[in-house]
Chains A and B, each alone.
Chain A
Amino acid sequence: MIRCFLVINNFGKPRLMKFYERLSNEERQRVIESAYGLVSKRLEDLCNFVEDDSLFGGETQLIYRHFATLYFIVICDKAESELGILDLIQVYVETLDKSFENVCELDIIFNQQKAGLILDQMVTGGLVLETNSQEIVSKYKELERNMKQQERELKSPVASSPRTF
C-alpha cells in the first residue's frame, strides 16, 4: 500500500502531498523533511530506491523520480512492486504533461487542486486505481466541465465582488 505521495521541489518545498495514512501535521512535515533529506543527497545516476526505517518504521521503501525541479516521491510498504511504482510516477507525470501541456513546477503550484484531482483519479486510498492516462485525462475533463458549468451559474456575484487584497 502506498503511504504517501509527495511532490517536493529541489529546495525542499512541498508542492503536493497526499497521505493515505493518519498522521498529524507535525508528523507529515517530518516525513516530508526526511524524505527530502534522503533524495536530495543522491546523485542523478543512482537507483530510484532508498531504504530508511526511520521514515515510517520498518518494511517501508521510498521510491522516487527526479524531473527537472521536482522530486516525485512515493513511500510505500514492501507489498508494492518497486518498478511498478516507478511506472506509476511516470504515468502521473505523463498525465500532468497531457493536461497542462509541458508541465512545470509553476503549473503545480498554481493548480494544486488540479494536480491533486488527477492524482485522485490514479491513486485512491493508497492503491492504484487507474493507470490509463487517457482515461484519467478524460475523467478530469469531465469534472472540469461540471465545475465550469457551475462557475458560470455563479458568475455574476464574482464579477461584482471587490478584490480581496
Chain B
Amino acid sequence: MSSGGGYRGLQNFINEIRQCQSKEGERARIDKELANIRTKFKQDRGLSSYEKKKYIWKLLYIYVLGYDVEFGHMEAVALISSTKFSEKQVGYIAASVLLHENLEFVRLVINTMQKDLVSRDENYQCMALTAIANMGGREFAEALSGEVLKLLISSSTRNVVRKKAALCVLRLFRRNPDIISSDTFALKMGNLLQERDLGVLISSMSLLCGIVAKDSQGYEVVVPKVVAVLERVAKGIDIPQDYTYYGIPSPWLHVKCLRVLHYFPVIENDGVWTKLQEILRRTISSAPIDKNTNKNNALHAILFESISLMMHLNMDSEVLSQCVTLLGKFVSIKEPNIRYLGLENMSRLSLVPEMMQTIKAHQEQIVVSLNDPDISVRRRALDLLFRVCDRDNSHEIVDKLLAYLTTADFAIREELALKIAILSEKFASSLQWYVDVIISLIDKAGDHVSDQVWFRVVQIVTNNEELQAHCASNVLRKLQDGSSHETMLKLSAYVLGEFGQLLRGEAREIFHLLKDRLGSATPAAKGLILSAFAKILVRCGDEDISQQIRETFQRYGTIPDAELQQRSVEYAVLSAKKEAATVMATMPKFPERESSLLKMMQPEGGEGSLPAARSRAGMDAAGDALPAAASGDLLGLDDAIEAAPVVPLSVSEPAAAAPQGDPLDLLAGLSVAEPTPAADAAQASVAAAADPFGGFQDLTAPQDAGGEGANARVEGGTVEGWYSKLCISEKGVLYQDQYLQIGLKADYAKAQGRIMLFLGNKHEGELGQVQISVPPVPAYRIQPGQVPASIAAKAQVQIPIAVSCVEPTLDVPKLQVVYRVKGDAVKLDLQLPVVPTKFFSPVANVDANAFFSAWKAIPDAPLKLQQICQTQQPLDMNRTRALVGSAGFTVAEGMDPSQSNVVGVGAFNCEISGETVVMLRLEVDPRSHQQYRITVASNNALLTSSTKEFLVRELGR
C-alpha cells in the first residue's frame, strides 16, 4: 500500500478527477467511471483480486466526493467474507464507510464478523471489532455482543484487541443496554481498570464513562479504582514516554477519569474523597501557562475538566472562588481558545449561587469580550453577561448590551434583543428606565422585537401618568432622528396619538412626522397612524392640521383595504359629532395583570437558552421589580383570543355614543368599541402574526417541556404523548424520568374536577425541595393541595388538585414541578390534561328531532365550525367512535344512517353559563378513511372552536 495503494488505475483516476475544471466535468468523468465499474461487476468473467480492490477504492473515492455508489455495496460485502487478508481489509473499510445500520447488507455480514471474532488471527479480530464499533447496529448487539464481551474480558486477549473490544462493547451497549448488567459487569470493569497498559485504560475508561452516563447505579465500587488511575496520571507515576503528550502524562486519560467521576452523585469512601480533593486542589494551584500551544491546551483541558468536577462535587466556596479568579485571568488572555473556555466555564460556575459575587468582579473583562474579534467568544460573553445580570448591575449591563446591539453580528441580534427585553423588565429599577430601554431597543433592532414588547410599553405608559410626557417626547425624538421601523412607527403612532397633546406646541411636528411615514407604512401601522390622526383631529385646535387630516381620511376612505377604509370613514364622520371628544378621550388604565414577558419566562425549561433563573433563588420572584400597578397585561395571548370575537359581536349592538338615525349607526358602534385597549391590542396582534409570541416562543418555551439539570431524562414515553392520552382517559402517567414518576387520576362531575397526582421517587436518594405550581389561567380555578417538601427514596406522595371550569377556553393550564436531586434543581414544565371536553356530562336519550332542530338553529361560524382534515393513517371507525365517546360525547347511534359517520352530543358545564350543549358530526370518507369533515356546533364560539381543535388533534394521532 504505497502511494495510491499501489493501484495505478486508481491513481490515474484520481488525477483525472483533479484535473476536471468544472463540477459538470467531474460529474461526467465520474458517471463514466461508475458505468465502467458497473459493467465490470456484472460481467461473467470473475474479477481478479486486484481489480476488485481497485474498483472498491474507486467507489470509496467517488463516495467521499458526494456521489451515490449504492450498487457497489454488495461487492464490498462480498469482499469481507474473502479469505485473503487484503480483500477482507478493503471489504471492512468499505463496509464501514458505505453501509449504515439496519440495512439488509448488515445482516449479510454478521456471520462473517462472528467468524472473524472467534478466529485466532488478531488482525481479523481487530478488523471485525473496528467495523462493528463504527457501524453499530441493534442486530450486531443481539448477535455479536457475547463474543465481543468475551474478547474484552478474557485473559488471553492481547491488549491491541482488548482496547478495541472495550469501545465495541460501548457501541453495542448504546444500541442495547441489556447486553450488560451492573451486578456482574461492575467487578469486571474494576479489573479492567487495574490494567497497566494506558491504551487499554483509555478505552476502558471511555466504556465506563458511556455506561455510567446512562446510569451509574451499581458501579460505585469502581470509583476508588478510577481515582487510583487519576492519581497515577496526575502524579505521572509509571507512565511510559510514548503516552506523554508534550511532557504531560496522557491528558486524555486524565480528562476521561475526571469526566467519569461526574456521573457519580457522591463519593462515599472518605479516603478516596480526600485523595480526590487533594488531586483537584493540586491541579488548580499549579495552573501554569506554557509557551507551547499544544502543551498549553493539554494543561488547560485538565484544568477546565477539574473545575467542572469541583463544581459538581460542591467543593467549598473558597476553592471555587479560586477557580473563578483563575478563569478571570483566562478571559483576558491572548490565546483565543482559553478565552472562550474561560467564559464558558465561568458561565457554568455562575450556576453556583455563592459564586455570583466573585464572577461579577470580572464584569468589565466580560464586557470587553463582547467586542472580541471572534464570534464564538462574543456569544459566550453575551451568555455569561445575561447570567450574571441582577438588579445591582442591570443598568450597566443593559447599557452595554444596547451599545453592542448596533455593532453586533446579525446572527446574534435576535437573541441579544430578547435578552435586553427580558433583563430590562426583570431588573428594572424604574419604569422610566425600562421604557427608555425598550424604545432604544425598538429603534435599534425593530426587526427582532416582537409586538408584545411594544404593547407592554403602551400599557405601562398608559397606567403611569408621570411617564406619558416623557415617553411621548422620547418617541418624537426618535422619529425626528429618522427612525421609521414598523414597530417603532406603531409605538410612536399610539403614544403620540394618546399623549402627544402633553407636548405643547408639537402638534404640527407630530402630524408631519407621522404623515410622512403614512404612505410607506404597513397596513397595521397605517391603522394606528389613522387612529392617532383621529385623536389629534379632535384635540388639537389647529385648523390647518385638521383640514389635512380630514383630507387624509377622505383619501383613505376610498382605498381597497377594507379595514383602513372603514376606519377612515368612521373617523371622519365621528370627528364631526359632538360626542367625539368623549370617544377620543385618553384610554383608561389597563386592568392589573401579570406581565406576559415574565409569564413567558416562567415556563422556561430545559434548553438552557435563558438559564439565568436556574438555581438562582429569588430570581423568578424578581419579576415583581415592576410595581404591581404597572403589570397589566394587554399583551397576552389570552386577550388576543378572548378579545377578538368582541369586535365583530359589537357590530350588532346599538352603540351608546352614536346618535339615532345616522346611516353609519352600526359602524359607529364598531368604532366606539374598537379603540378599547384590549380590542385594539388584539387587532394589532392578530394582524401582526398568527403566533403572537413571535420569536419568544422558541427561546423561552422548551420544545419538549422536558426537565433540566441533573441530567433528568424523560423515560418510557414522551411528555406530549402522555398528555394526549390523559386528555381522553382519566388515569395514566403524566411524566417520567429516571428520578421521578408522576401519575395522574382524575374524576370530573359537571363543572368540577378532582385530580390526584401521584409523585413517585424512583431513585435511591431523596428528592428535595419539591414544589408544584399551577400558573393562573382565567378560565379555570385550580387549587393544588399541600406538597411535602421532600419525597423519600422509593416513596410515593399524593397531591390533590381541585379544578373548576369558569368558562370555555383554548388555554391549557400549565403544571410546574420543581425538585432537587444530586444537588441540581430539576424544573419540569408540563401541561395539566384539563380540556373543555373533560367538563362534558353525558346526554341521555338523544332525540333525533330535537337534535336536528337544535343543529339547524345554530348559525354558521363562529358558533358552528367545519373543517376538512386528512389523516396519515386510515381511521378505524370503531376506534373513532370510542375516541369520540371517551372525549365526553354521547355517541348518538343510528342518527346518521351512514356507517362512516359519527354523531355525538355532549353537555358542557361551566360556572358562567351553566350547561351548554355541544353537537358533533364527523363524516369520514367511506372509501379511503383518510379524510374526514368535522362539524362542531354550540352556542358558544370559544367552546365550539376549542372542542373542534381538540378533536382534530386527537383524530390526527
A147 at the interface (CB under 8 A from B): yes
Distance between Cα atoms of A93 and B123 in the complex (Å): 24
- Quick one: which of A16, A47, A88, A143 contacts B89, CB cutoff 8 A? A143
Say whether A163 contacts B297, CB under 8 Å.
no
- Within 39-54 of A, Cβ neighbours of B (below 8 Å) are at 42-43, 45-51
Inter-subunit contact B341/A127 (CB<8 Å): no
Shortest CB distance B240–A (Å):
8
* Given A110-B3, A111-B3, A146-B85, residue A49 in contact with residue B337 (CB < 8 A): yes
Most buried by B among A47, A50, A133, A161: A47
The number of inter-chain residue pairs (CB within 8 angstroms) is: 202
**B373 surroundings in chain A (CB, below 8 A):** 43, 45-46
Chain B residues within an 8 Å CB radius of A148 = 1
Q: How far is the CA of A20 from the CA of B123 in the complex (A)?
A: 22
Q: Are A125 and B163 in contact (CB under 8 A)?
A: no
Chain A residue at minimal CB-CB distance from B3: A110
Assess whether B340 is in contact with A87, with CB atoms less than 8 Å apart: no
Give, as a whole number of angstroms, the nearest-CB distance from B86 to chain A. 4
Q: B242 touches which one: A42, A46, A110, A134 (CB < 8 A)?
A: A134
Interface size on A, residues (CB 8 A): 71
Chain B residues 43 to 66 lying within 8 A of chain A, measured CB to CB, are 48-51, 54, 57, 60-61, 63-66
Would you call B171 and A154 a contact (CB within 8 A)?
Answer: no
- B701 smallest CB distance to A (angstroms): 15
B250 at the interface (CB under 8 A from A): yes
A69 within 8 A of B: no
B634 within 8 A of A: no
Q: Mark A76-105, 1 if CB is under 8 A from B, else 0.
A: 000101111011101100000000000000
Cβ contacts under 8 Å, A111 to chain B: 1, 3-5
Q: How far, in whole Å, are A48 and B14 apart by their CA atoms in the complex?
A: 31
- Say which residue of A13, A42, A48, A151 sits within 8 Å of B86 (CB atoms): A151
Q: Which of B14, B130, B164, B297 contacts A110 (CB 8 A)?
A: B14
Does B586 sit within 8 A of A, measured CB to CB? Answer: no
Query: How far, in Å, is A152 (CB) from chain B's closest CB?
Result: 11
Which residues of chain B are near A1, meaning CB under 8 Å?
Answer: 210
A130 to B213, CA, bound (A): 21
Chain A residues whose C-beta falls within 8 Å of the C-beta of B538 in the assembled complex: none
Per the bound structure, the CA–CA distance linking A165 and B339 in Å amounts to 54
B623 at the interface (CB under 8 A from A): no
Chain B interfacial residues counted at CB < 8 A:
83
B367 at the interface (CB under 8 A from A): no
Q: Are B199 and A87 in contact (CB under 8 A)?
A: no
Distance in angstroms from B236 CB to nearest chain A CB is: 16
The answer to whether B297 touches A83, judged by C-beta atoms less than 8 angstroms apart, is yes
- Given the contacts A14-B65, A111-B4, A150-B86, A161 and B51 also touching, CB distance less than 8 Å: yes
> Does A55 belong to the interface (CB within 8 Å)?
no
Instruction: Report the stretch among B374-382, B497-505, B657-665 that lies at the interface.
Output: B374-382
B596 to chain A, nearest CB (A): 26
Closest to A17 in B: B64
B136 at the interface (CB under 8 A from A): yes
A129 to B43, CA, bound (A): 41
Q: Which of B298-306, B682-690, B824-832 contacts A (4 or more CB under 8 A)?
A: B298-306
Contact, CB under 8 Å: A130 / B163: yes
A110 to B277, CA, bound (A): 51
Stretch from B251-259, B435-443, B750-758, B775-783 that touches the partner = B251-259
Q: Are A139 and B171 in contact (CB under 8 A)?
A: no
Task: Identify B171's interface contact among A109, A116, A117, A125, CB under 8 A.
Answer: A125
Min CB–CB distance A121 → chain B (angstroms):
9
* Residue B670 CB within 8 A of the other chain: no
Q: Tell me the minimal C-beta distance from A29 to chain B in angstroms.
A: 5
User: CB-nearest residue of chain A relative to B13?
Assistant: A165
Are A84 and B337 in contact (CB-based, < 8 A)? no
Contacting residues of chain B (347-377) with chain A, CB-CB under 8 angstroms: 373-374, 376-377
Give chain A residues whose Cβ lies under 8 Å from the Cβ of B38: none
Give CA–CA (A154, B255) in the complex, Å. 47
Contacting pair A124 B167 (CB below 8 A): yes
Q: Are A147 and B89 in contact (CB under 8 A)?
A: yes
Please measure, in the bound complex, the distance between the C-alpha atom of A8 and the C-alpha atom of B221, giving whole angstroms. Answer: 44
Interchain CB contact under 8 A, B340 and A147: no
Q: How far is the CB of A117 from chain B (nearest CB, A)?
A: 7
Any chain A CB within 8 A of the CB of B336?
A: yes
Q: Which residues of the partner chain A approach B196 to less than 8 Å between Cβ atoms?
A: none
Contacts of B134 in A (CB 8 A): 18, 20, 120, 124-125
Q: How far is the CA of A147 from the CA of B203 in the complex (A)?
A: 27
Q: Are B251 and A84 in contact (CB under 8 A)?
A: yes
With contacts A84-B301, A147-B1 known, is A135 near B85, CB below 8 A?
A: no
Closest chain-B Cβ to A60's Cβ sits at a distance in Å of: 14
Contact, CB under 8 Å: B170 / A127: yes
Instruction: Output the least CB separation between A44 and chain B (Å).
Output: 10
B376/A135 in contact, CB under 8 A? no
CA A1 to CA B259, docked complex, whole Å: 12
Query: Once the chains are docked, how many angstroms separate the CA of A91 from the CA of B1?
Result: 22
Question: Which residues of B come within 8 Å of A, CB atoms?
Answer: 1, 3-6, 8-9, 11-14, 18, 36, 48-51, 54, 57, 60-61, 63-66, 68, 84-86, 89-90, 93, 97, 100-102, 123, 129-130, 133-134, 136, 160, 163-164, 167-168, 170-171, 198-199, 202-203, 206, 209-210, 213, 242-243, 245, 250-252, 255, 259, 294, 297-298, 300-301, 304-305, 336-337, 339-341, 373-374, 376-377, 379, 607
8 A-B contact pairs sorted by A residue (CB < 8 Å): A42-B374, A43-B373, A47-B374, A81-B259, A83-B301, A83-B337, A124-B134, A164-B9
Measuring CB to CB, which residues of chain A are less than 8 angstroms from any residue of chain B? 1, 13-18, 20, 22-25, 28-29, 32, 42-43, 45-51, 58, 79, 81-84, 86-88, 90-91, 109-114, 116-117, 120, 124-135, 139, 143-144, 146-148, 150-151, 154, 157-158, 161, 163-165
- Seed contacts A83-B297, A111-B3; 12 additional CB < 8 Å A-B pairs: A22-B101, A45-B373, A47-B336, A47-B339, A47-B376, A48-B337, A84-B301, A87-B251, A87-B301, A111-B5, A113-B57, A131-B252
